[in-house]
Amino acid sequence: MGKMKTAEVGENKNKEKSEKAHKAEAEKVHLAGLKGGQRVKMVEAEAPAVTETAEGEAVKKGGKKTVEKVRGKKYVESKKKFDNVKTYSVSEAIKLVKETSYSKFDGTVELHMIVKKAGISAQVTLPHQAGKAKKVEIAGDATIEKLKNGKVDFDILVATPEIMPKLVPFARLLGPKGLMPNPKNGTLVPDAKKAQGFSTGTITLKTEKEAPLIHNVIGKVSQNATELAENLEAIYKALSGGKQIEKAYIKATMGPSVKVKI
């Protein structure tokens, strides 16, 4: 009898241990970032998406809380100054961009265009400086010496085919900064005379890799409205007089976008 009782007690203990082990295993949840053996007592299913409106309030859609992008009071107030569905003339749009810019610094005037297809590329020399003046260096032996010491004190590097072999060893230094001269952006010129006449106002208009979108800068908020308009018109002209553009918008760094006539 004593042996039978001992056997029964042993079986019960083993059964309890097995149940506890099974329960513990059920509590273990392996998640990314957790080490093996760590336990999570409760894991919720997908949390309801909560979004805020422009006023910062949650709204319900289809039984779930959803959210719209939060916009600051200054942005909301600026946008009330014009009809965001209407298309404005170039002069009207520039005036509105200046009025609706709410940054404490001198904001940049950005141009965003939807064009007919991806892969469009064109060069244009803006009639007026768009923003901060850039330092241009014409590559020569003095440039090579600076590059040997890792010194880059220019914003644009212009070169002729003769000097290019000497610049190749510095491709890793110049390439990531977008300073390696090449014909696509007009910085690789045929002769020294052309290099001397290089304009810092020359920019490349290019769509995003897989989208028919072009983004460029046409100047600063403080800049003369006529200069901004002439820079914009020059870009339109470079894109077949605007024929390749579907829609265009201009805006300040901190301010709403204004749809502008093409």
Instruction: Answer yes or no: do 210 and 158 share one domain.
Output: no
How confident is the model over 53-109, as pLDDT tens digits?
444 444 445 555 555 567 889 999 999 999 989 999 999 999 999 999 999 999 999
Sign of torsion over alpha carbons 180, 182, 185, 189: positive
CA distance 173 to 178: 9
What are 150-207's pLDDT values in tens digits? 999 998 899 999 999 999 999 999 999 889 998 877 889 888 888 887 777 788 899 9
Q: What are phi and psi of 250, to 5 degrees?
A: -125, 150
Q: Among all chains, which residue has been given the structure tokens 């810019």? A: 101
226 lies in the same domain as 248? yes
| Structural domain includes residue 1 | no
Angstrom distance (rounded) from CA 11 to CA 162 = 91
CA-based end-to-end distance of the chain: 102
The CATH number that applies at residue 186 is 3.40.50.790
Q: Are residues 123 and 228 in the same domain?
A: yes
Say which CATH number the domain at 251 has. 3.30.190.20
Domain span at residue 215 reads 82-130+201-259
- pLDDT number for residue 63: 55
In a domain, 10, yes or no: no
Q: What is the DSSP letter of 95?
A: H
Q: Within a domain: residue 6?
A: no
> Does some domain include residue 227?
yes
> Is the pLDDT assigned to residue 46 strictly greater than 90?
no
Looking at the structure, do residues 159 and 124 belong to the same domain, yes or no? no
Computed over every residue of the chain, the mean pLDDT equals 80
- Say how many domains are in the chain: 2
Q: Is the pLDDT of residue 5 over 80?
A: no
126 vs 75: CA distance, rounded Å: 30
Q: pTM for this one?
A: 0.62
